[in-house]
Structure 1
Amino acid sequence: MTRFKKLLGAAFFSSLVSVSAQAAVGGYPVVLVHGFQPDNLASRPNANQVAANGLAYWSEFWANHAEMRIDWPSQERITGRIATDYIWPKLQQLSRQNICNPGCIFVTHSTGDLVTRYILDNQALWLQNAGLRPLNIVATLDFAGAGGGSELADLAVNVATGSGLFDRTLQLALSLWLGQIPNANNVGVLNDLRVNTARQLSAFPDSRVPRLRFVGAASDFLGTTGLFLPGTDDGVVASHSSCGASSAGNFESCSRAVAFDGKITSQNLGVTNFMPLHYPMLMSDAYSHNAVIGQQRKGDITVARNSVSLTTQSAVRFSSTDQTRGWWIFASSYRVVNGSERHAMSPLVYQAVQ
């Protein structure tokens, strides 16, 4: 073996060790569940392509901190082939390899929130019936969660089936979001993302797993998609979904006391009732739907809730500082998470769980 090959082999082994050492949050193995991928509707990827897409989806930050991913194709339905062909094999692998025996954390983004709720409601029974040990999931970290559905999905399905009005503004919004105008043959998981459908899917799972929410309120679509979303949105889902509200509504914050920009003031349109065990933690008006899982800092982050205990009784905590901005009678107080002046939302969450 040449010296070059030896060095290359050593470097490769070192990279494997490095990734393995990082593939945990707070000592818990991490399982990633990605969100809706619009291009799948037209491309209809096979299993190998689904896996490649899943790796690329998380590449900016979380891929190096995960033990496993549950990848799934967006042209299918959650209770159909997504469950049978993609979720179930990974659940068996997780159980047989004892990955979650000490406890594991699921990190989700967008529709991955809804997919994971279905997993939480069914995994124990499925695995027990197969003679396997259920997974010990101690928490989920849900970024820009779409578990409450998206009004954009309702509109997209209506347009695809010819049952809704279609004007140039809606055409632009759907084109920016999906990259295409869907038809009746390629709506896939958009059916599950319709607000009423999403909220009826495993709405009250038996599993008592805390679901920690991390929410943005910026948009990558110049506000066009927000015209069709109630209340404050992140360009894809409204706050009722990302905050984990128990019902759809016109909400402006995940908190009754702090705005998305961190201003400490009464929020008359803040969420008051949440889905079981859903806890909004961080909010920011600087992060869009996709930016919340990235590594690039966008701006200050505020806290809706400082701490939540996991099923193991260990806790996730965020410290914050109240700042006064402005002058004299025009001054206001803002709550800023410590470290958000340097770090993006996902790295902050990762550090908080350590």
Structure 2
Amino acid sequence: MKKSLLLLLAGLLSGATQAAVDGYPVVLIHGFQPDNLQSKPTGEKVSENGAQYWAQYWLDRADERIDWPSQERIANKITSQYVWPKLQQLSRAGTCDSGCVFVTHSTGDLVMRYIIDNQALWLQNAGLKPLNIVTTFDFSGAGGGVELADLAANVASGSGLLDGTLKLAVSLWLGELPSSSNIGVLNDLRVNTARQLAAFPSSRVPRLRFAGAGSDFLGVTGAFLPGKDDGVVASHSSCGAASVGSYNSCSRSVAFDGKLTSTSGPSGFMPYHYPMLMSEGYSHGDTILNSAKDEVTAANSRGSYLNGDNLQFSTYDEKRGWWIFSSRYRVVNNSNKTSMSALVYQAAN
């Protein structure tokens, strides 16, 4: 069974060698995988998990992946044993010489920021050519930190007020309550810690953001997240806001459901972070799947890459409701039948 799975994955990867976004090679960086905290994968298993993570949509549309295990820390083994070897491989192969696009999900957003801040210096010091990263597509980005990670750390250490609802929220997210022996990358995901990691990268790579406001956990986890959230990440993080806040949109004039109205969106964003698509019905994991969950709207319909190329979405505005009770909504074309990831991929090609 294992051998057949590996052969299937190999076949998918071999078919991905010509994949591209707007002619640029695509590199994937996955997010936090809760089961890693107990299973502690290494070697081939890390790669297998990485392939499975992206299997529904992006796997056969990408050229390379950076796979990493969640039981480790970003600035330690994740970088030294998994990120750095892959960066060297990409540089030696010239994968990004003409530009490449990185696609991240969840904690991959934070790993990517660390890469952006350091990769040029690391590779130059090794006598290698830095990667030419023209943009990133960040789905459900956790680069601004995850309040649930703070709660998980408190549960693991036994500190703070640990009521039943809090423990339920953490166990729904992780699949079980964490042990104090190892919470790995959850340490990096704590809100203050995450926001201090490579907070002001010198590189100007645009971080294009794609966010949802649904939930996989019947709203239980959302009770511990400020503002709108996707069941795991609050909008201050997924939108790329410059500061933590109780935000109800990535925009101050468009709501998550597309309604054109004044909203409590961020007044500023982290360096080079630009919110693009939003949807009320997409939960944390939905944004990288291959099924339409709800209509999608645009905080911004156009975003620029580092080299001046653009990602642009077609939208339309429509009136909904009756008489004085009506409102106007902004909708991305075909979003009622096209997944968010597919909307991004199609717009980029």
Letter matched to residue 80 of structure 2: T
Q: Deviating runs (4+, > 2 A) in structure 1?
A: 12-21
Q: What is the deviation of 1:114?
A: 0.1
The aligned amino acid for 1:152 is L
Q: Shift of the alpha carbon at 1:13? A: 12
CA RMSD of aligned residues (A): 1.4
In 2, Cα distance between equivalents of 1:39 and 1:18: 29
Q: Secondary structure at the match of 2:17?
A: helix
Structure 1 residue 272, shift from structure 2 partner:
1.3
Quote how far apart the aligned CAs of 1:19 are: 2.9
Larger displacement relative to structure 2 (308-317 or 226-235): 308-317
Q: How many residues align?
A: 341
The unaligned stretches of length 5 or more in structure 2 are 1-8
Match of 1:303 in 2: 298
CA contact (8 A) 2:13 2:59 kept: no
**Of the candidates 225, 231, 243, which is equivalent to residue 227 of structure 2?**
231
Whole-angstrom CA distance in 1 between matches of 2:160 and 2:59: 39
Q: Which amino acid in 1 is paired with 2:327?
A: S
Q: Does the alignment pair 1:320 with 2:311?
A: no
Q: 1:4 is matched with which residue? A: none
Q: What TM-score, normalized to structure 2?
A: 0.96
- Which residue pairs with 2:16 in the alignment? 19
Q: Which moved more, 1:178-187 or 1:214-223?
A: 178-187
**CA 1:284 to 1:14, structure 2 compared with 1: closer, same or farther past 3 Å?**
closer
Map 1:1-354 onto structure 2 (within 5 A).
Answer: 18-21=15-18, 23-267=19-263, 269-354=264-349
**1:129 shift after superposition:** 0.4
Question: Displacement of 1:14 after TM fit?
Answer: 10
**Taking every aligned residue pair, what percent have the same amino acid on both sides?**
65
Q: What is the deviation of 1:16?
A: 7.3
Task: Please give the alpha-carbon distance, in whole angstroms, between the structure 1 residues aligned to 2:123 and 2:16.
Answer: 28
Q: CA deviation at 1:302?
A: 0.3
1:172 alignment partner, SS class: helix
- The 3-state SS of whatever aligns with 1:219 is coil
- Which runs of no fewer than 5 residues in structure 1 stay unpaired? 1-11
**Could you list the per-position Cα deviations for residues 61-87 of structure 1 after superposition, in whole angstroms to 9, with x for gaps in the alignment?**
000111100000000000000000000
Question: 1: CA distance between counterparts of 2:293 and 2:249?
Answer: 19
Q: What does the per-residue CA deviation read over 1:264-307, in whole Å, with 9 as the maximum and x for residues that have no partner?
A: 0111x111100011000000001000000000110100000011
C-alpha change, 1:63 and 1:14, in structure 2 (3 Å) is: closer
- The alignment partner of 2:328 has SS state of strand
Q: Which amino acid aligns with 1:190?
A: L
Give how far 1:20 is off.
Answer: 2.6
User: Equivalents in 1 of 2:223, 2:262: separation in Å?
Assistant: 25
**How far 1:18 sits from its partner (Å)?**
4.8
Q: Name the CA distance, whole Å, in 2 between partners of 1:330 and 1:44.
A: 55
Query: SS state of the match for residue 274, structure 2?
Result: strand
Q: Tell which structure's C-alpha radius of gyration is larger.
A: 1
